[in-house]
Amino acid sequence: FKPGALIKMVPGAPLGVDVSTTFLFNDKLQLGISYRWGNALSFLTGFKIGDFTVGYAYDYSGGTVGTYTSGTHEAFLQFDILKKHAENGDKDLPKHNHNTMTELLQRNKTEEQQDLELKNKPVKTNPTTTTENKQFKNEKHLRKEQAKREKKIKQAQEKALRKEARKKEKVQQSRKEPSKEKSVSKAKKSR
C-alpha cells in the first residue's frame, strides 16, 4: 500500500491537488487509483519485472476538460534508478533476539575451538613414493621405540620409588625394635 499526494501551485492558475494510492501484490502486480481535484479520476494496473514496471492506465476526465474528451488510455514504463534500501531493510534484517545472539556467540566459540584443535593436530599424510613410505615406516618405528623407552623409564622410576619406600619402612621399623629390646633388657636386669 503506497499512498501519495501532489500539490501544484502555478502563479495565476488554480491550485492543483492529486491524491493517489497504489497496492502492490507479491511485489509484482500493481493496482492503483488517483484523483485530480475537480478534473479527473484515473485507474491503473501494472506488472513489475526486475527494476521495471510495465502498465496501463485509464484517465476519466471531468470538469471543463470532460467536454472535450471522455478519457484517455495510457501505457507506461517505470524503472527504478536507485534502490530503496530503507524500504527493503526491515524485511532482510532479522529482529534482535537474545536467543539468536546467544546461539551465534556459542557457534562462534565452538568454531574457534574446532579451529584451534585442527591447528594443533599434527598433519598425517599418506606416503606416495617408496622413499616416503620407508621414511613413514621408520618414523612410526621410532615413535614406537620412544614410547617403549618412556614406558621402561617410568616403570624403573616407579620401582625405585617403591624400593625407597620399603627402605624407609625398614629403617622406621628397626628404630622401633631396638627400643623394645632395650625395654626388655632393662626389665631382665631389674629382676
* Bridge pairing between strands 71-79 and 52-61: antiparallel
Q: Which of 62, 80, 98 is the last residue of a domain?
A: 80
> Does residue 39 lie within any of the structural domains?
yes
Domain end point (choices 80, 100, 132): 80
The predicted model scores a pTM of 0.39
Give me the number of domains the chain comprises.
2
Q: Do 118 and 185 belong together in one domain? A: yes
Establish if 152 belongs to a structural domain.
yes
Residues 191 and 121 in one domain: yes
Distance CA 124, CA 113 (A): 20
Whether residues 119 and 183 fall in one domain: yes
Expressed as residue numbers, the domain containing 168 is 114-191
Residue 125 lies in a domain: yes
Question: Does residue 101 belong to any structural domain of this protein?
Answer: no
Q: Considering only CA atoms, which of 48, 103, 104 is closest in space to residue 79?
A: 48
pLDDT by residue for the chain (191 residues), tens only, comes to: 889 998 988 898 888 899 999 998 888 999 999 998 877 889 999 999 888 889 999 988 876 655 667 788 889 898 878 766 555 555 556 566 666 777 878 888 888 888 877 777 766 666 566 777 777 788 888 888 888 888 888 888 888 888 888 888 888 888 876 555 555 555 555 55
**The three three-digit cell numbers of residue 118, written as one number:** 585442527
